[in-house]
Structure 1
Amino acid sequence: MTKGRTKAAARKESREAMLAEGARILHDMPVGNVLSQIKATEVAKGAHKTTGAFYNIWQDHNAYRRELIRYVLEPSRFDAVTEVIKDEVNRQKSASMQALVRSVADKNFSELKRNPFMGLQLTLWAKRESDPEMAAHLRGLYQGLNERLIPVYTMLLKNLNRRMRPPYEIQHLAVVMMALLEGLHIRSEIDPDAVPENLGAALDGIEYDPEHPWSLFAAASYALVESMTIDRSREDDLA
């Protein structure tokens, strides 16, 4: 490896480390004008770098701020959420609609609760009206998430032998499911009793199974899938 490549790799590692540290700091103080509270000295120290290394990459705090926003709101930060849906769809190809939707929804909700970038997204969302750049990055995040979720939901409907019910299209299902997921996640963080993990009842005529209970998110997801899609065997009903 040449000296130039070694230097470039070190610079890349320093950049990633200090962006990750900035995201950690944001997560720990999500109040007020959060971005102005992040200091180069604190970022460098937390990332085990020097302040000189910070300014060797970013000319000033504003340059770092712009890249930190892009880093935090990059759609790939939620790839783990997308992947868990895809894996569950592939794992249960022959499952019933009730079982598959319930399982996918529960795994989806659990994975989002573990994702630290969800809280950061909401923190930055509060600045959308006063910061056009922030609004643009948030829009890019949602559009990127849709691009990742559409193939997954397409595969889900294929496994269920269902199609979208007009006038809905597959992107509408992705948008509504994401909105439901975010909304119930926010509510569960501050009022967990309002978003039960076990409704304690059967759903859609299926006998109640305490081993596989319906959570509020799973039940609402099932209602959405059922209402926004139709069995392919009933396509003549849409003619």
Structure 2
Amino acid sequence: MASELPMEEIVRRGARTNFEGLRESSFVPLFLTLWGRQASDDHVRQQLKRHYESVTDHLVGVYADFFESQGWDPRPPFTIRDFAVTLTALVEGLTVRWAVDPDAVPLEMRSVQSSMRVERQDDLDAGPWDLFGIVVLALIPSMTVPRIKRDSELWADHEDVRGLVRRLRETWESMVGLSPPAEAPDHTAPESADHCGAEPRRT
């Protein structure tokens, strides 16, 4: 899936098309109605399961091609299927929230526009980022790893997502001069008499 578009622009366009399609789809209200029945209707539940499996199977192929074009592999413990399931759930959830509370799901993230501009100005519109697209972009480093190791140790290909998040947090803390939080109190220790159901003391 060769493309001359920068990765960020591919993500922006693909996510925006996906989100727009769901917002205009008449199937989303139907699926929500069916979801309300699935708890007590095994037939409905199986129909919904088959629908989501079909959607996921299609997206796995799409995302596998995209990962291949970018030289990425899934970052452990994730799989491409996990990525597809996560993005499907995310875009459906945002679609439901947008329908009843559009202000909560911005379709144009103005604060990121200046920093996300694509430098080339020929065939690229470098248009607005919606909430779904920018979250997808933020998820990619956590759910993928480049096959060619980047200079930054944050991209280390031997660690799973927990190690990545830990490194990011430690880096951020060192940049802003914070110390790691103190260890949480041991809640397994026996509680004092004041916390064993006795009436709180009044002053």
TM-score range, shorter chain: 0.5 to 0.7
Say whether 1:238 aligns with 2:148: no
Give the whole-Å Cα distance in 1 for the aligned partners of 2:99 and 2:44: 24
Unaligned residue ranges in structure 1 (runs of 5+): 1-89
**TM-score (norm. length: structure 2):** 0.67
Say whether 1:163 aligns with 2:82: no
1:95 to 1:185, Cα distance in 2 relative to 1, 3 A: same
Aligned-residue Cα RMSD (Å) equals 2.4
Give the whole-Å Cα distance in 2 for the aligned partners of 1:230 and 1:204: 27
1:112 to 1:212, Cα distance in 2 relative to 1, 3 A: same
Give the whole-Å Cα distance in 2 for the aligned partners of 1:101 and 1:222: 7
2:105 is aligned with what amino acid?
A: V
Instruction: Return the match for 2:85 from 168, 175, 194.
Output: 175
CA contact (8 A) 1:94 1:159 kept: no
1:127 alignment partner, SS class: helix
Instruction: Return the match for 2:138 from 178, 200, 223.
Output: 223
Cα deviation code 1:34-72 (max 9, x no counterpart): xxxxxxxxxxxxxxxxxxxxxxxxxxxxxxxxxxxxxxx
Give the whole-Å Cα distance in 1 for the aligned partners of 2:148 and 2:56: 27
Quote the residue 2:34 is aligned against.
124
Aligned length: 149
1:234 alignment partner, SS class: coil
Query: Greater RCO between the two (CA within 8 Å, min separation 6)?
Result: 2
CA contact (8 A) 2:16 2:133 kept: yes
Shift of 1:232: 1.7
Quote the residue 2:14 is aligned against.
104
CA contact (8 A) 1:146 1:171 kept: yes
1:103 to 1:150, Cα distance in 2 relative to 1, 3 A: same
Shift of 1:204: 10
1:161 to 1:205, Cα distance in 2 relative to 1, 3 A: farther
Say whether 1:154 aligns with 2:154: no
Map 1:203-222; keep pairs closer than 5 Å. 205-207=115-117, 212-222=127-137
Cα deviation code 1:21-42 (max 9, x no counterpart): xxxxxxxxxxxxxxxxxxxxxx
Runs of 4+ in 1 over 2 A off after TM superposition: 202-211, 235-239
CA contact (8 A) 1:97 1:160 kept: yes
Map 1:51-70; keep pairs closer than 5 Å. none
2:61 alignment partner, SS class: helix
Instruction: Return the match for 1:143 from 35, 44, 53.
Output: 53
CA contact (8 A) 2:149 2:156 kept: yes
1:93 to 1:172, Cα distance in 2 relative to 1, 3 A: same
CA contact (8 A) 2:113 2:128 kept: no
Structure with the larger helix share: 1
Give the whole-Å Cα distance in 1 for the aligned partners of 2:53 and 2:148: 32
Identity of aligned residues (%): 32
1:159 is aligned with what amino acid?
A: S
1:107 is aligned with what amino acid?
A: T
